[in-house]
Amino acid sequence: MQRNVLGFAAAHAARTSRSPRRRNRAALAAFLSASLGAAGAAHGVIVFGQLDDFENGTAMGWTEGFPTPNPPTNIPSGGPGGAGDNFLQNVSSGGAGAGSHQVMFNQTQWAGNYNAAGVTRITGLMRNLGATNLFMRLAVQGGMLNSNYASSNAIPLPAGSAWTPVTFDLTPSAMTAVIANEPLSDVLSNVLTLRILSAQAGPDFRGDVVAATLGVDNLRALRLQGDANFDGRVNLNDFNVLAANFGTTGTATWQTGDFNFDGNVNLNDFNLLAANFGQVIARPGVSGGDWSALASAVPEPVGGCAALGALAALGTRCRRRYQE
Ligand SMILES: [Ca+2]
Ligand SMILES: [Ca+2]
Ligand SMILES: [Ca+2]
Ligand SMILES: [Ca+2]
């Protein structure tokens, strides 16, 4: 298909040029242009906040290549929302051959430039529907030199588990190089493949050979919740954004303080910001919920007290609204 498109572009350019040399040059330019266009189209464009909820009845681009006897499959009911909530299921057979590894990958909406999109974290819900313990990790493959990084620490998903919230940070402190041709930041600027896998022994991208059944739903492209202005830290600046938009209903965005994507700015968003207050992406920060960080974020002593007072007042106002 791609070759047909490229061939057509080159042939068309050759037909429409008069001199042979110009024809050749035009054909080459058309070929390169079509090639670049095709290559660009093949790369996904990850979008901050994007959600895989599988409600469209498809596997949303998640696959394990082919042929496989047990590809990721959309299950129409039994997701975290219960009856009627679609989710993605990936069976692995163990043993040998295609489908034996617990791994699946996506090269469409989860490919692209994570740095430009501001995505440093992926959250979701996972469930172990089988009888074998799973050890969940993400792996990103890409960059210019085909490097590969995987979650340093696995999230355990015991056999028969309920739906469990999972958070995978895509930061240097949370990822380990498996194939280290270039820094993680280079890979994140050009992710070709995102993998979800179970690997017990350590960071890997291949997935263990294991007979297992994994359920996945509500995968979200995210960053530290509360970081409204995308500067990598949750502090007074973000709080001020939330405070300025507090009470918005239906039209709010992340950038205006809606950190759970429901269109509203309310106590739920305040709580998400509060839980991460003082934290910094990609390096150790103040532990979550450390309110002393708020005081140090503004000049002492008057500003700090005023800020703390404003925060307390907002919290009170929020609580009052919720009680009404
Ligand atoms: Ca769902
Ligand atoms: Ca499978
Ligand atoms: Ca911020
Ligand atoms: Ca919200």
Share of the chain above pLDDT 70, in %: 73
Question: How many angstroms is it from 96 CA to the middle of ligand 2?
Answer: 12
Please tell me whether residue 141 adopts helix, strand or coil conformation.
strand
Residue 136 lies in a domain: yes
Per-residue model confidence (pLDDT) at position 285: 40
Give CA–CA dist 64/194, Å, rounded. Answer: 11
> How does pLDDT run across 165-191, given as a tens digit for each residue?
999 999 999 999 999 999 999 999 999
Quickly state the pLDDT bin for 320 (edges 50, 70, 90). Answer: very low
Indicate whether 74 and 159 sit together in one domain: yes
30 Cα–ligand 1 center, Å = 43
Does residue 148 share a domain with residue 55? yes
pLDDT digits (tens, 9 = 90+) for 60-108: 999 998 799 999 999 999 999 999 999 999 999 999 999 999 999 999 9
202 is a domain residue: yes
Segments forming the whole domain that contains residue 12: 2-42
Q: Are 75 and 183 members of one domain? A: yes
* Residue 227 placed within a domain: no
Q: What angle do CA 233, 219, 232 make, to 5 degrees?
A: 10
CA of 234 to the centre of ligand 3 (A): 4
| Same domain (yes/no): 36, 55 | no
| 268 Cα: distance to centroid of ligand 4 (angstroms) | 6
Choose one of 162, 188, 222: the last residue of a domain: 222
**Spatial separation of the C-alpha atoms in residues 308 and 311, rounded to whole Å:** 5
> Which ligand sits closest to the CA of 102?
2
Q: What is the mean pLDDT of the chain?
A: 82
pLDDT in tens, 195-211: 999 999 999 999 999 99
CATH number of the domain residue 70 falls in: 2.60.120.260
Q: Does residue 34 carry a pLDDT above 80?
A: no
Query: What contacts 47, CB < 8 A, 6 or more positions away?
Result: 109, 117, 221
**pTM across the whole model:** 0.77
Consecutive H or E run containing 152: none
Sign of the CA dihedral running 229, 232, 236, 239: positive
Residue holding tokens 């469990």?
164
Nearest ligand for residue 224 CA: 3
> 277 with 289: CB under 8 angstroms?
yes
Identify which ligand lies nearest to the alpha carbon of 258.
4
Residue type, 110: W
The answer to whether residue 275 is domain-embedded is yes
Give the sign of the dihedral formed by CA 29, CA 33, CA 38, CA 44.
positive
Cα–ligand 2 centroid distance for 200 (angstroms): 17
Find where tokens 């037909």 sit.
15
Question: Is 231 part of any domain?
Answer: no
User: Does residue 162 share a domain with residue 110?
Assistant: yes
Interval between CA 125 and ligand 3 midpoint (Å): 26
pLDDT in tens, 149-158: 999 999 999 9
Give the total number of structural domains in the chain.
3
Cα(106) to centroid of ligand 2, in Å? 13
pLDDT-derived band at 309 (thresholds 50, 70, 90) equals: low
